[in-house]
Amino acid sequence: MTVPAAAPPPVVEVRDVVKSYAGEVHALRGVSLTVTAGELLAIVGPSGSGKSTLLQVIGTLDAPTAGTVRVAGYDVGRLSDDRLSALRARHIGFVFQHFHLAPGRDAVDNVADGLLYAGVPRRERRARARSALERVRLGHRLGHRPAQLSGGEKQRVAIARALVGEPDLLLADEPTGALDTASGEVVMELLHELNAAGTTICVITHDQGIAESLPRRVRVRDGRIVEDSAAREVGSR
């Protein structure tokens, strides 16, 4: 008798999440979403759809008004501020549209800074930063500062910084939004490679082309999930 393979564990569990501002503006309206280990998905929607708020909630940068958020098995709402910061440092990596690199620091130091709050000694931080930069194909740019890098290279430095702590989850918010087409294609190719190596990745985007290139697409509109390709595929079996 063949024993079925165990399902991958959830990295993110969002249940009935509501996010309101001033009690009147409802950015999220009862959103539920599960992301399992090893997934690569797009959270896609137009400006104002609620996708960026969902990123903030999943990334524990903002608390929901109601509902439950679990990341890496932890109920976020039950954690103190210190434990929440530790959860982010250990389990979540962030990549943003505009890189957020320190202009006076080279690529190694920018990436090593991603370990500042993880209690890693300086020498080890720099060694791990060099390894992360090689992983994103920037081993030849270790000593370069942001002004000496192209837009695509800056984004790859930002990805290396997000990965250097080996997080369970990588959240990429419009990672190609500030790049030309060719650089954007390189970044997306890299995200596919990282996912194939085991990293769980959520890409937040308004770009339908990027969304369609990913294995799972979660469409958000007016604060609600209106389509999830994973649910559609399960229903068609």
pLDDT tens-digit readout, 170-228: 999 999 988 999 999 999 999 999 999 999 999 999 999 999 999 999 999 999 999 99
pLDDT, one tens digit per residue, over 88-131 is 888 999 998 889 999 999 999 999 998 887 778 999 999 999 99
Structure token digits, residue 64: 């929901």
Asked if pLDDT for residue 23 goes beyond 80, the answer is no
In a domain, 181, yes or no: yes
Structure token digits, residue 66: 């109601």
Q: What is the CATH number of the domain that holds 49?
A: 3.40.50.300
CA dihedral 128, 92, 195, 115 (to 10 degrees): -10
Asked if pLDDT for residue 235 goes beyond 90, the answer is no
In a domain, 33, yes or no: no
From its phi and psi, is residue 119 left (phi > 0), alpha (psi between -120 and 50) or beta?
left
In a domain, 66, yes or no: no
CA distance 98 to 116: 21
In a domain, 3, yes or no: no
In a domain, 18, yes or no: no
Structure token digits, residue 158: 């930002």
Report the mean per-residue pLDDT for the chain. 91
pLDDT, one tens digit per residue, over 47-96 is 889 999 999 999 999 999 999 999 999 999 999 999 998 898 889 999 98
Cβ count near 145 (within 10 Å): 16
pLDDT at 17: 97
Rounded to two decimals, the pTM is 0.89
For residues 99 and 1, which has the higher predicted lDDT (pLDDT)?
Answer: 99
In a domain, 44, yes or no: yes
In a domain, 70, yes or no: no
Range of the domain at 187: 38-59+80-235
Residues 87/72, Cβ–Cβ less than 8 Å: yes
CA distance 85 to 48: 27
In total, how many domains does the chain have? Answer: 1
